Amino acid sequence: MKSLTLSLVLSLCFFARVSAQEAPKIKFEKPSDEELSMKIYPKDSTADAVILYDDGSSYVKYDLEKGFMLTFERFVRIKILRQNGVEWGNFHLSLYSHNLNKEDLNHMKGTTINLENGKIVKTELKKNAVFRERENKYRESVKFSMPAVKVGSIIDLQYCITTEMTWNLRNWKFQYKIPVKWSQYKVVYPEYFNYNQSSLGYHQLLYNKRSQSTENISYTERVDNHSNYGGFSVPTTQAVARTITYTNQIFEYAATDIPAIREEPYLTSLNNYTAQIKVELNNTNFSRIGGSVHNYTSSWNEIAKQLDEDDSFGQQLKSNGFLSDDVEKLTKGVTGNETKLNIIYNFIQQSIKWDGFNSFYTDKSLKKVFNDKIGNSAGINLLLTAMLRKADIDASPVLLSTRENGILSIAHPTLSDCNYVIVRTNIDGKQIFLDATEPNL
């Protein structure tokens, strides 16, 4: 009986704790007097700045013209406490942009709020202060610095990112190199989608809630039929109203008083220890409404199949006819696969320059990498794979995550955690792993 009473008391205490820490009511450009006058953050007096509030949401919703769309919204408020904290007024948003697949940045508003001579002064971010530049074949950068940022400033920033790429649901970080007072994230998607979700880090979440809601898709369908006019059958078209009802899966996360995370000796990657939620599309299933099932990362075999069919990965290895003459010249009169391997490996190392960019997708064709004499890590090592295969050597690409990028999830297969590709060869039963990006490796 005592055990039951103790359990009940602990449960009530936990409920009271969660209830007492409901999400703060924060409005854009309306900081409290306490926030404006804050000189230090009480829970970390050494902090150069503090994220007072960070609110994000990702949701998949149907659009009658474009189909299912993914929207990410964020509102963040930052308080600058010391001169070194002014750098937190600089922002870098990375957007996916490749051919017709892209993320669109919308409704961005930024305001710096200062208390000057007892009066609140607001300085808005101007459109001409926002700069875009191409990072690589797949990503575009949006960079800007908030105006009038100084010690004592409050920065409010809102933005929205929309895309048709429903597989690209964003992760959420609760923890940064400065403390965070409150952070929350909400994920909503229809029953037709299944996303893997995993958490990293050691800071306990305040709550992790799951619920459901229903939503309707209303549309008009044109139906062909025949009508009888004067004994003749006449084809007609009729507009019929249709409604599809589906279930939304809703996930809500929150954390409070998150300490700053700092670099320490012997850490592999800070990302391994940062409190965050990672999300990746597992599969889509539209069979209930007459559609199909498509697997993305439900198994490592599915990931391998996906990569094998990708134009920037597996398909490049199948278009290697241009290498025949060069491989034949390099290995002419050479016997022994290990000797051939060394010749080809040294040739790639010395003749193809690495551009410094890590990826498991090549950003241009292997033929162009070969002719330009420069490529990213995937371009170089996939080219090495193709040349070894031309020499009749058993060679395969190996996907991995570098130490700097962080560990792979052990909860489920994942593609988004990877950032690099090397080569595995099998010669006389001996496995040899190769990376040709560095001349002296």
Q: Are 143 and 91 in contact (CB under 8 A)?
A: yes
Beta-sheet pairing, 353-354 with 374-375: parallel
Q: Are 435 and 423 in contact (CB under 8 A)?
A: yes
- Distance (Å, rounded) from C-alpha 330 to C-alpha 345? 11
- Distance (Å, rounded) from C-alpha 88 to C-alpha 67? 37
Centre a 10 Å sphere on the Cβ of residue 190 and count the other Cβ atoms it contains: 20
Q: What single-letter DSSP state applies at residue 364?
A: S
Residue 234 lies in a domain: no
Residue 227 lies in a domain: no
SS3 62: strand
- Distance (Å, rounded) from C-alpha 31 to C-alpha 119? 13
217, HSE (Cβ side, Cα atoms, 13 Å): 15
Return the pLDDT at 366.
Answer: 93
- Distance (Å, rounded) from C-alpha 376 to C-alpha 313? 12
Tell me: do 140 and 259 sit in the same domain. Answer: yes
Domain coverage including residue 369: 300-434
Residue 148: CATH number of its domain: 2.60.40.3140
Tell me: do 128 and 70 sit in the same domain. Answer: yes
- The residue with tokens 């924060």 is 26
Residue 175 lies in a domain: yes
Return the pLDDT at 233.
Answer: 65
Q: Are 381 and 434 in contact (CB under 8 A)?
A: yes
- Distance (Å, rounded) from C-alpha 40 to C-alpha 53? 16
The structure tokens listed for 328 are 């034949």
Identify the CA nearest to 188 among candidates 206, 215, 207.
215
Q: What is the dihedral of CA 349, 353, 359, 360, to 10 degrees?
A: -40
* Among 234, 260, 295, residue at a domain's last position: 295
The count of domains in the chain is: 2
Return the pLDDT at 65.
Answer: 86
- Distance (Å, rounded) from C-alpha 50 to C-alpha 47? 7
Return the pLDDT at 394.
Answer: 94
Tell me: do 256 and 333 sit in the same domain. Answer: no
Return the pLDDT at 1.
Answer: 46
Q: What does pTM read for this prediction?
A: 0.81
Tell me: do 344 and 262 sit in the same domain. Answer: no
Return the pLDDT at 70.
Answer: 96
Identify the CA nearest to 390 among candidates 347, 435, 336, 331.
331
Residue 259 lies in a domain: yes
Question: Mean pLDDT per segment of 10 residues, for the chain of length 441 residues?
Answer: 45 44 88 95 96 97 91 98 97 90 93 94 95 86 96 97 93 96 97 91 93 88 68 69 90 97 83 90 90 86 89 88 91 91 94 90 91 93 95 94 82 84 93 91 80
Phi and psi, residue 406, nearest 5°: 120, 170
Q: Are 297 and 415 in contact (CB under 8 A)?
A: yes
Tell me: do 208 and 67 sit in the same domain. Answer: yes
Residue 409 lies in a domain: yes
Residue 370 CB burial class (10 angstroms; 0-12, 13-18, ≥19) = buried
Tell me: do 148 and 279 sit in the same domain. Answer: yes
Crossing angle (nearest 10°) for helices 337-351 and 324-331: 120
Tell me: do 62 and 176 sit in the same domain. Answer: yes
SS3 216: strand
In 6-47, at which residue ranges do the beta strands (DSSP E only) sit?
A: none
Tell me: do 261 and 181 sit in the same domain. Answer: yes
Which DSSP string do the residues of 403-434 spell out, in sequence order?
TTT-PPPSSS--STT--EEEEEEEETTEEEEE
Tell me: do 102 and 204 sit in the same domain. Answer: yes
- Distance (Å, rounded) from C-alpha 398 to C-alpha 161? 33
Q: Are 142 and 104 in contact (CB under 8 A)?
A: no
Please work out, in degrees rounded to the nearest 5, the angle formed at the alpha carbon of residue 130 by the alpha carbons of 126 and 132: 160
Q: Are 273 and 199 in contact (CB under 8 A)?
A: no
Return the pLDDT at 226.
Answer: 65
- Distance (Å, rounded) from C-alpha 274 to C-alpha 240? 52
Residue 81 lies in a domain: yes
The structure tokens listed for 335 are 């016997």
* Among 232, 261, 295, residue at a domain's last position: 295
Return the pLDDT at 375.
Answer: 92
Q: Are 305 and 414 in contact (CB under 8 A)?
A: no
Return the pLDDT at 15.
Answer: 43
Tell me: do 328 and 249 sit in the same domain. Answer: no
Residue 130 lies in a domain: yes
Q: Are 199 and 279 in contact (CB under 8 A)?
A: no
The structure tokens listed for 221 are 């369908």
- CA-only gyration radius of the chain, Å: 28
Tell me: do 311 and 414 sit in the same domain. Answer: yes
3-state secondary structure 151-208: CCCEEEEEEEEEECCCCCCCCEECCCCCCEEEEEEEEEEECCEEEEEEEECCCCCCEE
Residue 237 lies in a domain: no
The amino acid at 55? D
Residue 401: CATH number of its domain: 3.10.620.30
Tell me: do 82 and 146 sit in the same domain. Answer: yes
